[in-house]
A and B are shown apart, each in its own frame.
Chain A
Amino acid sequence: MSQISNMDDMKRRIQSLEQENMRLSERAEDSQILAFISQVISQASSKDEMLNKTLEHISMLKNIPIVACCQLQSGVASIVQSYVSFEHRDLNQQSFSCSEPISEMTFWDAPEARLSPLILGCIPTAALLIPFSSQYLGLGFYLFITRDEESNDFEYLALTLERMTDLLTLSLENRSLLKSYRMLNEKLERKVQKRTQSLRDTQEKYQSLVNGADVSIMLYNMTCFIEANPAALSMFHCSREQFFKLSPAELSPEYQENDVLSKNLAATYIEQAIEGGHAHFDWFHQRYQGDIFPCEVHLNRVILKGQTLVQAVIVDLSERLQVQYQLEKSEHRYRSIIENIQDFLYRTNVDGTVTFVAPSVERLLGFSADDLVGKKIQEFYVQPRQREELLRQLHASSDGRVEGIQVELRHKQGHSVWLSNHVHMIYDEAGVFVGVEGIARDLTDLKKMEMQFYQAQKMESLGTLVGGIAHDFNNMLAGMTGTLYLMKAKLGGQNELLKRVDDMETQAFRASDMIKQLLSFARKGEVNLQKLSLSSLFKEVAKLLRQTTPENIELHLDGVDEGLEIHGDPSLLQQIWMNLVNNARDALSDTTSPEIHISLKKCAVDTEIMKQHPYLEYEAELAKMTVSDNGTGISKEHQQKIFEPFFTTKDKGTGLGLAMIYGAVHSHDGWIDVESVLGQGTSFHVYIPLQIEDMTAVELDDENLIAHGHQEMILVVDDDKMIRDVSCELLKSLDYRVIQAEDGQKALALFEAYKDDISLILTDVVMPNMGGWEFAQLVWLQKPDLPIIFISGYAEKEPMTLSEALDYVIILKKPCAIEDLSQSIQKLLGSSQI
């Protein structure tokens, strides 16, 4: 029995332990289920799903056949969500009466009656009500119903279920709050997005405004630039990186106008902008590469994040000024044309009485319209025959019209005015000839230009003539001077003859100087143009003039504009001044208080100048050299001829002074004007264009020693026998061996025979049969570097270029000094020997 008792006891203990174990397992599982439900809740996409799934899970995992969530209102419990495990339906939307307050967990035994009229599908054995109060669900309770089959122990499950429903309620509440929060958040986010978008739009607009602007916009923080638009980078020709490293001072030249330091002036403007909010001024800026350009600057004070900045808006005026300049120039031309249109309309009756004349007549004839109306037109004709001829042509024409007939009328001031007339006959209603109507155009300027043209043509013809003569004279002189040199060498100590020969040589060189002047007039002389300061040269010449001008004459230096640079030949320019002043001096011989005024001024091409020199650019800069005297003056007749060579009114004049000046001035692309009134004096104005381009300085060789040779063979070629003979003798005296030919062809034959011995060729340029250049080219085909000296009557452009290019060629001008020739030979032979 005791064994059985022990066994029973053991069984009970085991059973008890098993039960305990089961409950512990169940609790562990409850925790797992809570976590499981928690996961379901967190994964549910909506509150309905959350409620629905949680109720299903509780039902399935805790084996509760009916689970529901009821809202309690006014004693009625309405089922919002439910789960019925044994049927494919639910109890949603059903309700039942529940008058008692459910403030704490409540158990109902045999609840069928309480739950009426719910259609449960079973007979409920017990019910558990767990209350909730939440914002989302309001007041209510979770309802758990069991039936016979499951026989749940609610009292045991209650705590677990309460934890589960608490979790559900809190989660629903959280979800509800979360939803509200999310809605608020979304609303806020939408607002932020809208604001951000609005801000972005504004920013984009601002950026497109700033970036698209064609003026420079930049921000300066008193230390450096912190922002700049693309136009600014473009304006200053630098990259963004380069720009932000620059200070405002580096964007400007050191000085502004009037030698004001940019730095100081900029600081003043910036201060003005900061204090007054705005500053506006014109400024010179400097690009990254150093170019300076004019600008219009607006500085504005800007406050950004509490920091005071200066916004600079810069407009590049270069283009605008250029356009403005072009516009002004164009306007000027237009105005000039308009002002110079001197056409006028007029009408006369049959007897020539003026019945109408346009006011513009006054500009042309000096008479006002009132002066003329009522007067006979023929009174104003210088040659009345011209009117008769006009009427004759009118009547003879088939259409009663004559065009372009030239007439000479009298100006109010006495001088004549040439007009071109377009005239037609006028008739009354009955077809009777009642008068003449015409348009007259001023031809004065045209006439003047015609005269100028004729004069220029004449001077050009003279130049050609004189150039040719001078060339021949040069050849003769070259022969003479060479012969004289040889004579002097051979005479040795015979002093008497030597003196005469010296006199002859002096005369020959004087003649040579005259030839030079003639060549200057003909513009065929040697002109060494170089960049020079005319202002400095003028001052030097002025000193010389003071010394050479007789004391009784007052020489006035009326002014020198500084910094006038031209492209000119200093010796020619000096001669121009000297000759002009000499002429003035000669014109003052009978004057009581003789005065000479000289000046050098800068001037610009104006409309008056353009009338005579239409090829000039308007406002091009010129140097104007003036020499005036209060002497006898030059008559109108003589004024036309004074620049012609050999024209002189002086007893001892050569007539070459002004001719030389004329040619020399034209060699400088300039011109000379004369103003003169008999008995009052004369003014010569020389105009030379100012130049700015660089010129290489001309090196002068002061060497003047006679160099001797060492029996080298020289081929002398010249068609002038005398020159040729003299040259040969001369070269022999300088210890050279010499062979000679009279033209290129014969020289070529000689060259063929002696080419291995010939060290140098001395040749004329212009010769019959074959000229010097052609001969030289044939020689160089065989001996490419053979030195050749060309001796020419006057400088020609081609060989000059050649001589600059080749170091074995020298060109000398006839007549050349023996020193120059010997030095040149030595130079070439020396270089060829190297």
Chain B
Amino acid sequence: MQFINLAGHDMAYKRSGQPQGETMVCVHGITTYSFVWQDVIPYFEQDYDVICIDLLGCGASDMPLDVSYSIQAHAERLHDFLCALNILKSHLLGHDLGGGIAQIFAIQHEPMLKTLTLINTVGYDYWPVQPITALRTPIIRQLLMGALDLGMFKLIIHQGVFHRHKITHALIEQFWQPLRTKEGRKAFMHFARCLDNQDLMMMVEKLKQLSVPTIIFRGDSDPFLTATIAERLHADIANSQLHRIQTASHFLMIDEPEWLAKHWLAGVRSQA
């Protein structure tokens, strides 16, 4: 794990693969951190310079409560992060809320992207629209309860992973790790409180103007986010592909890493 200090806060990331290769930047969603990519990374490390970040307030990154964890703020920090590492062109992958961050980043910094990949992403207003509502939204509410109770948390993971055999004790431990501490729980709470779908709703029209090659993946067994998001994104983003799979749930990278890698590589090569 490596760290970079941005505006006084350490941000953690994992970098592996080929330093000379094209850079892939992977952004996780809420309640998770860089570990969520661990099964899929091995497929890319042979050819790419792979970076998996821990968003501020998540994983091993600092968890300040006096900074915004909105997707807009995260997108800006992502930009700062890439600039600090002098990564001016990369493949950006976002999962869940990370997909929202990636959408904002793409709209705001499209020239820095070779491709945009959205995996079971949030989008439009099919997710929390403002703080109070956010905490009332089933997914956030469940996550909130889950943050306080391991039993509840396990239930969420069971819903988010299609293949039962993938849910190992070690995997649960990795998910639960940040929520073991009061700090982690406060950071999570702060994250949830900062969510606002207005950030994305304001950019709906701009999505339609994107020309960056976009690959959209959808695990169709996801009970938290509707398939409409993926379908609408595919419809709105001109240069986009949509790949769907029944045997994956919300955490598609855990359920079907090989399928994901294969289609991503094929998608990227077809764009090249």
Contact: B148 with A36, CB < 8 Å?
yes
A60 touches B149 (CB 8 A): no
How far apart sit A149 and B63, CA to CA, in the bound complex (Å)? 20
In the complex with contacts A56-B182, A60-B189, A63-B135, A88-B148 CB distance below 8 A: no
Provide the bound-state CA to CA distance between A22 and B149, in Å: 24
Query: Is A88 a contact of B132 with CB atoms below 8 Å?
Result: no
B65 touches A60 (CB 8 A): no
Tell whether A63 pairs with B65 under 8 Å between CB atoms, given A36-B148, A85-B189: no
> Counting CB contacts under 8 A, is B201 at the interface?
no
Q: Do most interface residues of chain A lie in helix, strand or loop, or is the interface mixed?
A: helix
B65 touches A87 (CB 8 A): yes
Q: Which of B66, B145, B182, B183 contacts A61 (CB 8 A)?
A: B145
Closest B residue, CB atoms, query A29 = B141
**In the complex, chain A residues whose CB is within 8 Å of the CB of B144:** 60-61
Chain B positions 127 through 146: 1 when the CB is less than 8 Å from some CB of chain A, otherwise 0: 00001100110000000110
A22→B132 CA distance, assembly (Å): 12
Are A36 and B145 within 8 A (Cβ)? yes
A63-B182 in contact (CB<8A):
no
State in angstroms the CA–CA spacing of A86 and B190 once bound together: 7
> B237 in the interface, Cβ–Cβ < 8 Å?
no
A39 CA / B151 CA spacing, docked (Å) = 11
Give CA–CA (A362, B144) in the complex, Å. Answer: 125
Does A641 have its Cβ within 8 Å of any Cβ on chain B? no
Q: Which residues in chain B, 52-68, are within 8 Å of chain A measured between CB atoms?
A: 63, 65-66
Return the chain B residue nearest A90 by Cβ: B182
- Number of B interface residues in the complex (CB < 8 A): 18
Within 8 A of A (CB), among B143-195: 144-145, 147-149, 182-183, 185-186, 189-190
Q: Point out the residues of chain B lying under 8 angstroms from A36, CB to CB.
A: 145, 148-149
Interface status of A57 (Cβ within 8 A of chain B): yes
- Chain B's closest residue to A152 (CB) is B132
A60 to B145, CA, bound (A): 9
Cα of A358 to Cα of B18 in the assembled complex, Å: 128
Residues of A within 8 A of B148 (CB): 36, 40, 56-57, 60-61
Closest B residue by C-beta to A57? B148
* Cross-chain contact B186 with A88 (CB below 8 angstroms): yes
Q: Considering the complex, which residues of chain A in the window 49-66 have a beta carbon less than 8 Å from any beta carbon of chain B?
A: 56-57, 60-61, 63
Is there contact, CB below 8 Å, between A63 and B185? Answer: no
Residue interface bits A51-85, CB-to-B below 8 A is 1, else 0: 00000110011010000000000000000000001
Min CB distance A752 to B, Å, is 109
What is the minimal beta-carbon distance from A148 to any residue of chain B, in angstroms?
12
Q: Which residues of B contact A86 (CB under 8 A)?
A: 65, 186, 190
Docked pose: A149 CA to B190 CA in angstroms: 12
Report the separation of the CA atoms of residues A61 and B66 in the bound assembly, to the nearest whole angstrom. 20
Give the residue name and chain of the B residue nearest to A39 (CB): B149
When distances are taken between beta carbons in the complex, the residues of chain A under 8 Å from B132 are: 63
- In the complex formed, the residue of B with least CB distance to A59 is B189
Q: Whole-angstrom distance between the alpha carbons of A22 and B138 in the complex?
A: 13
Inter-chain contacts of B147 with A (CB < 8 A): 60
Chain A residues contacting B131 (CB-CB under 8 Å) are 149
B contact residues around A88 at 8 Å (CB):
63, 65, 183, 186
Chain A residues near B136: list those with CB within 8 A. Answer: 22
A56 vs B182: C-alpha distance when bound (angstroms):
9
Q: Which residue of A lies closest to B135 (CB)?
A: A63
Is the beta-carbon distance between A56 and B185 smaller than 8 angstroms? yes
State in angstroms the CA–CA spacing of A63 and B65 once bound together.
15
For the complex, give the distance between the alpha carbons of A149 and B148 in Å. Answer: 23
Q: Which chain B residues lie closer than 8 Å to A87 at the CB level?
A: 65-66
Q: Nearest Cβ in chain A — how far from B194, in angstroms?
A: 11
Q: Find chain A residues with CB under 8 A from B63 CB.
A: 88
Scan B38-72; emit 1 where CB is below 8 A from any A CB, else 0: 00000000000000000000000001011000000
Chain B residues near A85 (CB, 8 Å)?
A: 186, 189-190
Q: Indicate if the CB atoms of A60 and B190 lie closer than 8 Å.
A: no
Which residues on A sit within 8 Å (CB–CB) of B186?
Answer: 85-86, 88
B180-216 contacts to A (CB < 8 Å): 182-183, 185-186, 189-190
Chain A, Cβ-Cβ closest to B141: A29
9 residue pairs A–B, Cβ–Cβ below 8 Å: A39-B149, A56-B148, A60-B147, A60-B189, A61-B148, A63-B132, A85-B186, A88-B186, A149-B131
For the complex of A and B, the 7 pairs showing the least CB-CB separation, nearest first, are A86-B65, A60-B189, A88-B183, A87-B65, A57-B148, A85-B189, A63-B135
